[in-house]
A = this chain, B = another copy of it.
Amino acid sequence: MRAAALRLFAQGGYAAVSMRAIAAEVGVQAGALYNYTPDKQTLLFDLMESHMTELLAAVPQTGDADPQTLLHDFVGFHIRFHHARPDAVFIAYMELRNLTEANFARIEALRRRYEDGLECILRNGVATGAFAVHDTKIATLAIIAMLTGVNTWFRAGGRLSLDEVTAQYQNMVRKAVRAD
């Protein structure tokens, strides 16, 4: 059910997808779904929370490596992780407004924790003089927006491989934050 809902929500949007449509995708009647979720809102929230939890579990831990290496690895991780889950990423960014206030706050807290990981790398780099960034929070948001944007246009089998694209983003990010 969750796989079907993920696919359909990403395709048509939460509001436009009926429980009947999800049930049809699964191969059952609509009523049967309510044995697996109390309601549609909870189903959406669970999908988003699972995505964010997986993201936080998978992000490379900020270790002892130098800031340049950590940033390079973060860029590679972000692009690859998000490329592998286009539907979940789409929903996590587009369906925030369809969450109840309480559910929205919980997803936002998870998202902020992810951002904090990148900002920590940038702050350490600024402290060591490896990076020159006026405001690490702004740089964090700018980098994440740039990286997540890959999902909106990249298609495997196109002109460039994902590794080639990743290398170019790593290069742009490296230059954007480096000390002059």
A residues with CB within 8 A of B:
11-16, 94, 97-98, 133-135, 138-139, 141-146, 148-150, 152-153, 160, 165, 168-169, 171-173, 175-178, 180
Asked whether, in the complex, the Cβ of A177 is within 8 Å of the Cβ of B168, the reply is no
For A95, the closest partner residue in chain B by CB is B13
8 Å CB contact of A141 from B135, B139, B149, B176: B149
Inter-chain contacts of A177 with B (CB < 8 A): 172, 175
Number of copies: 2
Taking chain A's interface residues, is the majority helix, strand, or loop, or is none over half, making it mixed? helix
Asked whether, in the complex, the Cβ of B142 is within 8 Å of the Cβ of A152, the reply is no
Knowing A153-B141, A172-B176, the reply to whether A13 touches B146 (Cβ < 8 A) is: no
For A180, the closest partner residue in chain B by CB is B175
Report the separation of the CA atoms of residues A142 and B164 in the bound assembly, to the nearest whole angstrom: 14
Asked whether, in the complex, the Cβ of B138 is within 8 Å of the Cβ of A160, the reply is yes
Which of A13, A168, A176 has the most chain B CB atoms inside 10 A of its CB? Answer: A176
Asked whether, in the complex, the Cβ of A142 is within 8 Å of the Cβ of B171, the reply is no
Inter-chain contacts of A13 with B (CB < 8 A): 13-15, 97-98
Inter-chain contacts of A133 with B (CB < 8 A): 172
8 Å CB contact of A134 from B12, B139, B168, B176: B168
Report the separation of the CA atoms of residues A173 and B97 in the bound assembly, to the nearest whole angstrom: 30
Report the separation of the CA atoms of residues A21 and B152 in the bound assembly, to the nearest whole angstrom: 31
For A137, the closest partner residue in chain B by CB is B159
Report the separation of the CA atoms of residues A178 and B149 in the bound assembly, to the nearest whole angstrom: 21
The smallest C-beta distance from A133 to any residue of chain B, in angstroms, reads: 8
The smallest C-beta distance from A89 to any residue of chain B, in angstroms, reads: 13
Asked whether, in the complex, the Cβ of B98 is within 8 Å of the Cβ of A171, the reply is no
Inter-chain contacts of A153 with B (CB < 8 A): 141
8 Å CB contact of A149 from B135, B145, B168: B145
